Amino acid sequence: MASADQVLRQALSKYRYADICRRDVTNVFSQFKDLRPNHDSFIFNDGNKKELLNLDGTIPVTYKGSIYNIPICVWIMDTHPYNHPIVFVKPTSTMQIKTGRNVDSNGKVDLPYLREWHYPKSDLLGLIQILVIVFGEEPPVYSKQSQMTQSSSPNSYPGTGKYPGVSRQCDPDTTFSPFAAQAPIHVQGYNLDIFFQTMERFELDDIMNTLIEHGVDCVETFCSMTESDFKEIGLNIGQRRKCILAAEHIKNYGLNG
């Protein structure tokens, strides 16, 4: 079996910006140990086929206090980083895709981060970290079985789609730390760590994922929004009021005020 480095070397030999792509992929591997590079044929909607690099494996997602391994496949265009990747949820034989606002019936993922992809503000590591957040709010798979066993507990949970259909236990040679213990998340050049802390301070952590999905991923952007902006992204009147008060407080007294 070819090593990861050999796969990368072969796959990137025809990529226009191979050095940038290799660096981007390596950054992902440094934090997400259960993703592996593959080189395979990708068939586009118009029927054209192209040999592309993809990252295949699982990412650790926190859902209701437990960590689950969600299977994904990220196809990287040969024009990367100037064109966005194509992401699919890749269910195993025991899983069913759970369609939602971010995942269609084929498992294809649609996110504002992909639609608004722009190098150098966008990169693969930021994309994977956004997937962790989004899937933690709305798991993209559930178990086909009538019951799903969580491997770290003798108890079983009904496989009704309420829980992701994946085991909590990682492979024996792979260790995942809880999401909160990972390195600070960066999206579009901003440090989300500060944004997370600010939202929690003003008790807005329940809408944080909604804000991030709509591109509100830093304190500066948050404070520039109006009540109409918050309404447009789907916040109710109570949530909008809390956001406006928090933004006004930050603008008047700063983050530490």
Identify the pLDDT of residue 80.
Answer: 97
**Which of 176, 202, 237 represents a domain boundary (last residue)?**
176
Q: Are 72 and 58 in contact (CB under 8 A)?
A: yes
Spatial CB neighbours of 219, under 8 Å, sequence gap ≥ 6: 194, 195, 198, 250, 255
Q: Are residues 141 and 227 in the same domain?
A: no
Identify the pLDDT of residue 219.
Answer: 83
**Which of 145, 176, 207 represents a domain boundary (last residue)?**
176
Phi, psi of 168 (to 5 degrees): -75, -25
**Which of 148, 176, 204 represents a domain boundary (last residue)?**
176
Q: Are residues 123 and 32 in the same domain?
A: yes
Q: Are residues 87 and 154 in the same domain?
A: yes
- The domain in which residue 172 lies consists of 4-176
Identify the pLDDT of residue 158.
Answer: 28
For CA atoms 29, 34, 37, 41, give the dihedral sign: negative
Q: Are residues 138 and 244 in the same domain?
A: no
CATH number of the domain bearing residue 80:
3.10.110.10
Q: Are residues 192 and 142 in the same domain?
A: no
The pTM of this model reads 0.60
Q: Are residues 190 and 172 in the same domain?
A: no
Identify the pLDDT of residue 148.
Answer: 40
- Give the pLDDT confidence of 140-166 residue by residue, as tens digits: 998 876 334 444 333 322 233 333 444
Number of structural domains the chain divides into? 2
Q: Are residues 195 and 164 in the same domain?
A: no
Low-confidence ranges of the chain (pLDDT < 50): 146-190
Q: Are residues 9 and 107 in the same domain?
A: yes
Identify the pLDDT of residue 257.
Answer: 62
Q: How far apart are CA 136 and CA 144, in angstroms?
A: 19
Identify the pLDDT of residue 193.
Answer: 66
Q: Are residues 191 and 87 in the same domain?
A: no
Identify the pLDDT of residue 192.
Answer: 59
Identify the pLDDT of residue 166.
Answer: 47
Q: Are residues 189 and 114 in the same domain?
A: no
